[in-house]
Structure 1
Amino acid sequence: MINDTEINQIKKTLRNSIDNDYIAGANLMIIKDGKEIFYHEDGWADKEAGIPIKRDSIFRLYSMTKPVTAAGVMILLERGDIDLYDPVSKYIPSFKNQMVDEGGKLVPAVREVNLKDLLSMTSGLVYGGDNRAGRDTEALFIEIKNRLLGDSPMSTVEAMSRLGECVLAFQPGTSWNYGTSADVLGAVIEIASGISYGEFLKKELFEPLGMWDTGFWIPSEKRHRLVRAYEDNGLGKLQPYTGNNLGIINQMDINPAFESGGAGLASTIDDYSKFTTMLMNGGNLDDVQILRPKTVKYLTSGTLNEIQQKSFDEWLTLSGHSYGNLMRVMTDCSKAGDLGCLGEYGWDGWLGAYFCNCPEDDLTFLFMMQKKDAGTTTLTRKLRNIILSSCCK
């Protein structure tokens, strides 16, 4: 358990980051053996308005949306509604007859992208880059952004149908690259379930788990709880960030046509803890069974083969990890750059939301902040090191 010295170290580390204008504010939670053993909040939800971070503050999750999407896929998998070797073209026809950029030359895909490729990020889909695949994807997301607030915003299925027309960065299954795979899975779930992706998550996850503050937009009565996003001004100081990155409406004040399975959700630390606790409990929370234990075990396992792992290993700050089902998985603690537990899993978000579950030690670490290009920050690792050194074997 955490003693007073370690509590003071956590509070001091977070406070220093706020005083030094590294972040505006954050909250964090530690759950051990199914019980919350520590919660702390500090700093500002809106620095300019003098509004402090609170326990019910709402944060944009960005890529911490991805594990939720992976869980949605597992729900359909359990029911026999999908097969992970289904080609994506079964749901989105534009994914048939795709082209691949091989050294600047376009060649036909040797095989189609399937759902398993999407879950493991081995599809050849990317977020951006200098090659044809990157340029195609960037152009599409610019169009999504330009239409966001207009009369004809691009829908989830339309956006992913357009993505299927983009060039792949490599032959499906032959490498690993972080990209738009989870967005495609959101559209696949929508098509396979026959309801919008947002409705599917609400019906199958959020309402059963009591995640009442989680969704793709924030109703007016809750909007005052949304934390302001910040960015570095280039001089080591924070300034408000107002952009609409990856097709996400920054203000979260409109029910979006494009429900991004890779980046679109907003949530609170308490809401997301219900999702992480459900996973830790083998798919169960308060006698509500979302997934079966066997499914959760698969969901939280690494799935990369040796060739795919070589590409993933280029992500320096994830040394000692593998990847599978839209999450990192710790496979060798001795190679990692921070303290970890074998078999721990989780992910982070572009604005700094972060979680890890450590099943062997029955520990969950949740951290919420809002800073552009954050992901897993040095602050996050410092807090992890304090907490895991005290709470894990």
Structure 2
Amino acid sequence: MTSPISRKLDTTRLGRIAEWMQRYVDQRKYAGSSVLISQSGEEVYFHAAGLRSAENGLPFQRDTIARIYSMTKPITSLAVMMLAERGLFHLDAPVSQFIPSFSDMRALVPGAERIDQTERAAVPTLHQLLTHTSGLSYPFNPGVLARAMEEQDLLFKPDQGSLEDMCDQVAALPLAFQPGTRWEYSVAIDILGRVVEVVSGRSLAEFFAQEIFAPLGMTETGFSVPIGAGDRFASLYTPLAGDAMALNAAKAGGETLRLVDQARHSPFEAATMFSGGGGLVSTIDDYSRFAEMLRRGGEVGDQRLVGPATIDFMMRNHLPGDIAAMGPQSFAEQPMEGMGFGLGGAVVLDPGRARTPGSVGDFSWGGMASTFFWLDRVHDITVVFFTQLSPSSSYPSRSELKALIHGALI
């Protein structure tokens, strides 16, 4: 019997991916998309389909620049672990040690209906922030805290000022629950971005550029679209009639590709906010370099960012069980059943319960504009998928793509 590790990807079967991508374009679900697949460090498949700008008739190409939103989170989580690996802090340190505005915390009482129904709470630790068990939330989640965040527009958008000020505004609100008791997708990784700034003495943009992007050759990744990129920056679309991020008030519109943001009119072209939770733009080749570094245990070529033991630690499940066992039905970029959570991404515990083909230990995360990446260390595979449609919950493209790729393993 062939061992799983020796299974290779059949190029003929991979050809089904192009048909699947074109179908999404033809049905006006995505304007365009691209996918890059590598196995054992060698590229085995690339395809692009459709348009990066439907309004200007420009094709989605390999050098298209896209908003990766929450695929920024694994990069910020890596930055935290790079500093932890240097002995600069321990993950059980309270966040107030770095951001004093978090010193006196309160949490909503169970069943709270108003933002002022609170009780004293412990200060969240760095580990709780990394694992989304801190009690923080997102404006697009259900719940009392999320509504308050939505009213104050606490979303760390690229044109919302400084990271320091936004973190202080978040700290002024109560937590959704006592730290460590539940899992809820949140702005926690944005808060950690500020921790990286405080500990390193550099802006998050500078730290990323010097410590991660330069060593990996990620020359077109940053918080602002690179100068000279011009119309390579893809347009963003939504099938919703309202705000593409306002999931609590989501209403389907007649137009499935309503334009939300485009080149030369985008806040991503001159970002002031360095959002470690969702602020980066990138190309598919750049992000593939990051994914390959993870697969290789912290190195690409002669560049090592962290030790292999640190990568193994990040890719372990850090929850008591799966995400679904830890509480509220918040928005998430992944299924919750059969999925654990590591540092920066989800970890497959049971592909059957997740209802998506995969290997135990698959590490992955996505972004609000439907981008997605995962790495499978059983089969030595990394996959990066780019498109630009928000919200990412619009279509089941991620599980469909995983099924297509697993169907090509022979």
2:310 pairs with one of 295, 313, 338: 295
Query: Does the residue aligned with 1:42 lie in a helix, a strand or coil?
Result: strand
Query: 1:238-264 deviations in whole A, cap 9, x for unaligned?
Result: 121139xxxxx944111x221101000
User: Which blocks of at least 5 consecutive residues in structure 2 are unaligned?
Assistant: 1-7, 242-252
Aligned counterparts of 1:237 and 1:107: Cα–Cα separation in 2? 41
Q: CA RMSD in A?
A: 2.2
Aligned counterparts of 1:89 and 1:117: Cα–Cα separation in 2? 13
Aligned counterparts of 2:288 and 2:313: Cα–Cα separation in 1? 20
Match of 2:261 in 1: 242
Match of 1:133 in 2: 145
1:382 pairs with one of 400, 403, 406: 400
Contact conserved, 1:32 with 1:364, CA < 8 A, in 2?
yes
Aligned counterparts of 1:357 and 1:161: Cα–Cα separation in 2? 35
Q: Cα–Cα, structure 1 residues 143 and 377, in superposed 2: closer, same or farther, change >3 Å? A: closer
Q: Cα–Cα, structure 1 residues 288 and 375, in superposed 2: closer, same or farther, change >3 Å? A: farther
Instruction: Say whether residues 1:155 and 2:162 are aligned partners.
Output: yes
User: Within 5 A, what are the aligned runs for 1:264-343?
Assistant: 264-306=279-321, 310-311=325-326, 317-343=335-361
Instruction: Say whether residues 1:58 and 2:58 are aligned partners.
Output: no
Instruction: Say whether residues 1:98 and 2:105 are aligned partners.
Output: yes
Query: 1:68-113 deviations in whole A, cap 9, x for unaligned?
Result: 0110001001001121111111111111111111122633333211
Aligned counterparts of 2:142 and 2:70: Cα–Cα separation in 1? 22
* TM-score normalised over the length of structure 2: 0.88
Match of 2:381 in 1: 363
Aligned counterparts of 1:287 and 1:205: Cα–Cα separation in 2? 13
Query: 1:134-188 deviations in whole A, cap 9, x for unaligned?
Result: 233223325966xx75xxx521111111111111000011111001100000001
Query: 1:6-32 deviations in whole A, cap 9, x for unaligned?
Result: 133111111111001010000001110
Instruction: Say whether residues 1:112 and 2:123 are aligned partners.
Output: yes
Aligned counterparts of 1:5 and 1:282: Cα–Cα separation in 2? 30
Measured after TM superposition, the shift of residue 2 of structure 1 is 3.7
Match of 1:246 in 2: none
Deviates more, 1:307-316 or 1:322-331: 307-316
Match of 2:171 in 1: 164
Contact conserved, 1:87 with 1:112, CA < 8 A, in 2?
yes
Aligned counterparts of 1:377 and 1:296: Cα–Cα separation in 2? 31
* TM-score normalised over the length of structure 1: 0.91
Measured after TM superposition, the shift of residue 306 of structure 1 is 4.5
Deviates more, 1:227-236 or 1:101-110: 101-110
Contact conserved, 1:119 with 1:326, CA < 8 A, in 2?
yes
Aligned counterparts of 1:258 and 1:364: Cα–Cα separation in 2? 30
Q: Write 1 or 2 for the structure with the bigger share of helix.
A: 1
1:200 pairs with one of 194, 207, 210: 207
Identity rate, percent:
32
Query: 1:314-366 deviations in whole A, cap 9, x for unaligned?
Result: 57833211112131100112212210111001100000110000011111111
Q: Which amino acid aligns with 2:268?
A: M
Match of 2:193 in 1: 186
Match of 2:246 in 1: none
Q: Cα–Cα, structure 1 residues 27 and 68, in superposed 2: closer, same or farther, change >3 Å? A: same
Contact conserved, 1:313 with 1:319, CA < 8 A, in 2?
no
Query: 1:280-324 deviations in whole A, cap 9, x for unaligned?
Result: 111010111101000000111110124975126957833211112
Deviates more, 1:375-384 or 1:192-201: 375-384
Aligned counterparts of 1:84 and 1:143: Cα–Cα separation in 2? 25
Q: Cα–Cα, structure 1 residues 275 and 297, in superposed 2: closer, same or farther, change >3 Å? A: same
Contact conserved, 1:346 with 1:356, CA < 8 A, in 2?
yes
Query: 1:31-77 deviations in whole A, cap 9, x for unaligned?
Result: 10111111111110101111001111001000111000110001001
Query: Does the residue aligned with 1:163 lie in a helix, a strand or coil?
Result: helix
Deviates more, 1:86-95 or 1:97-106: 97-106
Aligned counterparts of 1:237 and 1:219: Cα–Cα separation in 2? 29
User: Which blocks of at least 5 consecutive residues in structure 1 are unaligned?
Assistant: 244-248
Q: Cα–Cα, structure 1 residues 312 and 209, in superposed 2: closer, same or farther, change >3 Å? A: farther
Contact conserved, 2:219 with 2:286, CA < 8 A, in 1?
yes
Q: Cα–Cα, structure 1 residues 205 and 144, in superposed 2: closer, same or farther, change >3 Å? A: closer
Measured after TM superposition, the shift of residue 225 of structure 1 is 1.0
Match of 2:245 in 1: none
Aligned counterparts of 2:328 and 2:382: Cα–Cα separation in 1? 25
Contact conserved, 1:109 with 1:172, CA < 8 A, in 2?
no
1:29 pairs with one of 33, 36, 45: 36
